[in-house]
Amino acid sequence: MSSQSRIELGPCPKCGKPAGAFKDGGSGRFRYLVVCGACAWSGGPARIKEVALKLWNETPTKPRRTECPNYAREAGSDDE
C-alpha cells in the first residue's frame, strides 16, 4: 500500500471511540482484521488489507441512545 492510498481508521462503529487497531493474522486466507481496543468489536475478517479497513470505516455507526429522535418518548419524557 503506497503512502498516497493510505486509509485512516475512523472511530469504532459500535462504541465511537478511536481505538481501532489493524491486525494481521499471519498466513490464513482471511488474515486481515480491525478490532476495537475499547469494546472488542471487529469489522470482520478480509483477504485484502484495504478491504478490512473499508469494512471498519464504512460500517454505519450506531447512534447513541440520547441521539435517537425517539429517546425522549422511549424514556417516558412528557416534554412534547
Measured in degrees and rounded to the nearest 5, phi and psi for residue 66 equal: -75, -15
Half-sphere CA count of 78, side-chain side, radius 13 A: 0
80 inside domain: no
pTM: 0.65
User: What's the confidence (pLDDT) of residue 52?
Assistant: 93
Q: What is the pLDDT of residues 50-75, one digit of tens each?
A: 999 999 999 887 665 555 555 555 55
Residues 6+ apart with CB under 8 A from 11: 17, 18, 20, 61
14 inside domain: yes
The 8-class DSSP code of residue 73 comes to H
Range of the domain at 53: 3-74
Segment 19-28 mean pLDDT? 86
Q: What total number of domains does the chain contain?
A: 1
Question: Rounded to an integer, what distance in angstroms lies between the CA atom of residue 48 and that of residue 60?
Answer: 21
79 inside domain: no
57 inside domain: yes
Residues 6+ apart with CB under 8 A from 54: 7
35 inside domain: yes
**Nearest alpha carbon to residue 7 among 63, 46, 37:** 46
